[in-house]
Amino acid sequence: MRESKIAILSTRPLSATTINDVAAKVTIDVVSFIETKNIIGDVIANKINEIAKQKATIVFTSMNAAEAVIHQLSKNKLQPDWNFYCLGTNTKKIVADYFGEKKISGIANNANDLAEEIIKQKNPSIVFFCGNIRRDELPKKLNNHHIAVDEIIVYETIETSHLIKKNYDGILFFSPSAVNSFFSINQLPHQTIVFAIGITTANTIKGFCKNPIVVSDIPEKESLLQAAIEYFEQIKI
């Protein structure tokens, strides 16, 4: 049985509360391998303001997009008549806090299921607020079902690589971008367990190493951390 605490590296910031809640079980280091930047300039701001005058169906697949759009709306004290489809409960919470829970028409844990929800409810068109390196699954599937997608980029992802010299029992990855950034200058010891927030992130990891990969059932930071803790607790038994 292992006596020392498990050492985990998170490649995305975690709240102090989250880290403190698990401090008795694991040691967590946080090194962010990507940064996100709001890139809403005058042209995009005007487009958002115009869409705000209309009824529209809005899709957010990331917290960053939701936060960027809400920041723009709040500057002008706008509360548009939109309904929403969200990927993940954290994104849903951000939207619900500003627009209200009743404005959310659908939520899913992956892009494919979210697209299915939009298709099922027969939406003729959607506005997809996203980042500069968003995945293709959702817009491609919607287009294949003749749903018009107005894609508007509101933030960009910047890779920020760091050389990691410490050996960790587990590493948490939250996006393919962070995976690419990490492996651009790092390699993993064969004994390190890798934890991925979703299948797409897991598949990206497979392109760089053959380490065991555990995928979270729910695409949220806290759920991925909990999956890691439960994995190592089972090893201890």
Count of alpha carbons within 13 angstroms of residue 140, beta-carbon side: 6
Q: For 149-188, how does the pLDDT look when each residue is reduced to its tens digit (9 = 90+)?
A: 999 999 999 999 999 999 999 999 999 999 999 999 999 9
Tell me the average pLDDT across 87-104: 95
Q: Which fold has domain 38-157?
A: Rossmann fold (3.40.50)
Q: What residue segments make up the domains of the chain, in order of their start?
A: 38-157
> So what's the pLDDT on residue 219?
86
* Rounded-to-10 torsion of CA 220, 221, 223, 228: 140
